[in-house]
Amino acid sequence: MIAWEDREPSTVLLAPPSPPGAPHLGGIYTWVLLDAARRTAQYFGGDAHLPQSWNMASRRLEPTFGHDPEEFARYCGLAVDNAVATLEGFGIAVSPHAALRDDDASVRALVQAVITDLANSDVVRYLAAEEKWCLSCRIALPPSADTEHCFTCGGKLRVRTTWDWFLPVDLDEVFRRAATVEWVPGYGIRRLRSLADVHPLIRVGHPRRNLGVPSPLHDGEILDPRLVGALGPSLLRRLGLDGPIVAAAGFDIQRKWLLTLLAANRPGALPAVIVQHGTLLDTAGRKLSRYTGASLADAPADVEPCLVRAALLSSPLGKDLRATALATVGASRLREKVLNSLRYIGLQQPRTGGIDLDAACDELLSEVESQLKAFDVPRAYAGFLRAVLSVSSTLIPMIRRQGMASYAATCRRIVSLHGIFYGDDPRLPGMSAGLKLRDTDGGKGLK
């Protein structure tokens, strides 16, 4: 497991690239898990980078921007700015540098260099392969695809043999690489191994695409966006980020992201840890997807983003979640207990012979910290709830009777742990307009 304490080089946190113009709760779930890891590293005195990760090569954008690069560049800039602002609303702070985005010229050059190296080392090969082909749309599907008609025009697919550049997928090698990675939850690797009907070849280029990274192997062709998205670990290494990589993703993209990631990146660039979470579902139990119009509006109505964040982090990692049933009410109650407890404690004057809050809370808060080190965020959240309830329901009534001797360390820990689960809260100490807490030495307050 990652040692979150002060280390060199810093841990790197990786999300699968997503379209910035179509955020939805499934993607937010991944990002809040990674931001919780970033804050955990800071909590223990370490550091972690959370690079931006965007996929601009959307087929839906091609009719509008496919032949207008300047307008496309303006769209990308605005879409990313809006997406970063959306993430900030959930307390997610992405690194200002080392952005992985396939519209950026420098990133495209790195992608092309990685593909060229893979071809030179015979990892990517020029091969003959069978495929199902739509002549009018020029769309290719693997022969194992469970359809006989094109999903775009409805025309009948033909089976043909073609020569092209492919990344062969050796499942035995993929599973050997997967065994070197730590999986959270641990059964994630078993779900990967249970994938059926995996096509043994991943096409490097993508027919009939205008937007994306030009292929260095075939003039006039665009690289398959899924392959580009899976090269994130190799790109991070070329950007100079050499620390251990922690990747996070939903179980629903094991086939199209994680499997390709394990096949396309060399062992030195593989993640040290892969964290997987359940799928966000709509009221009918169907997966929330941008293809079916999923958006942030699928969250419970009129709920602050910080409460949605906390509700996501409190949920069991391996279970699918209905978006409208997130435990935001419980998250709101816990937040208010934290605020009220800190407010009351901040009004107290230290008294000899009073309750030693630091000693009384140390075991409970240490348990929370232990769970965070193991990246068991839901259990850490449950432990945080127990600690806060102990303060508000048991210790504060005792303090009313006996006074309080020491509390500064506990307050600092609670404020920092609250930030991991809820993000920056302006109502807490150390934030703008935050509560003022007296320190045990009579200082002006906790910072």
Nearest to 365 by CA among 410, 415, 430, 407: 410
Q: What is the pLDDT of residue 430?
A: 57
pLDDT tens by residue, the chain, 447 residues: 677 776 678 999 999 999 998 888 999 999 999 999 999 999 999 999 999 999 998 888 888 888 888 999 999 999 999 999 999 999 999 998 789 999 999 999 999 999 999 999 999 999 998 888 888 877 777 787 888 998 778 899 999 998 999 999 999 999 999 999 999 999 999 988 887 667 788 889 987 788 999 999 998 899 999 999 999 999 999 999 999 999 999 998 888 899 999 999 998 899 999 999 999 888 778 887 777 777 777 788 789 999 999 999 999 998 999 988 899 999 999 999 999 999 999 888 888 889 999 999 999 999 999 999 999 999 999 999 999 999 999 999 999 999 999 899 999 999 999 999 999 988 876 554 344 444 433 343 443
Q: What is the pLDDT of residue 1?
A: 65
Q: What is the pLDDT of residue 135?
A: 83
Dihedral, 76, 81, 86, 91 alpha carbons, nearest 10: 130
Phi, psi of 181 (to 5 degrees): -100, 145
Which DSSP symbol is given to 292?
Answer: G
| Amino acid letter, residue 52 | Q
The domain ranges of the chain are: 11-120+170-187+223-323, 328-422
Q: What is the pLDDT of residue 297?
A: 75
Q: What is the pLDDT of residue 444?
A: 38
Helix (H) or strand (E) run with residue 170 in it: none
CB-based contacts of 329, cutoff 8 Å, min separation 6:
none
DSSP bridge partners of 134: 139
Q: What is the pLDDT of residue 353?
A: 87
Global pTM reads: 0.91
**How far is residue 173 CA from its own chain's centroid?**
26
Task: Please give the C-alpha separations between residue 43 and each of 48, 58, 380, 408, in angstroms, as whole numbers.
Answer: 11, 38, 14, 16
11-120+170-187+223-323, superfamily in CATH?
HUPs (3.40.50.620)
Helix (H) or strand (E) run with residue 276 in it: strand 273-277
Q: What is the pLDDT of residue 441?
A: 38
Task: Please give the C-alpha separations between residue 44 and each of 23, 37, 143, 368, 429, in angstroms, as whole numbers.
Answer: 31, 11, 50, 12, 19
Q: What is the pLDDT of residue 342?
A: 93
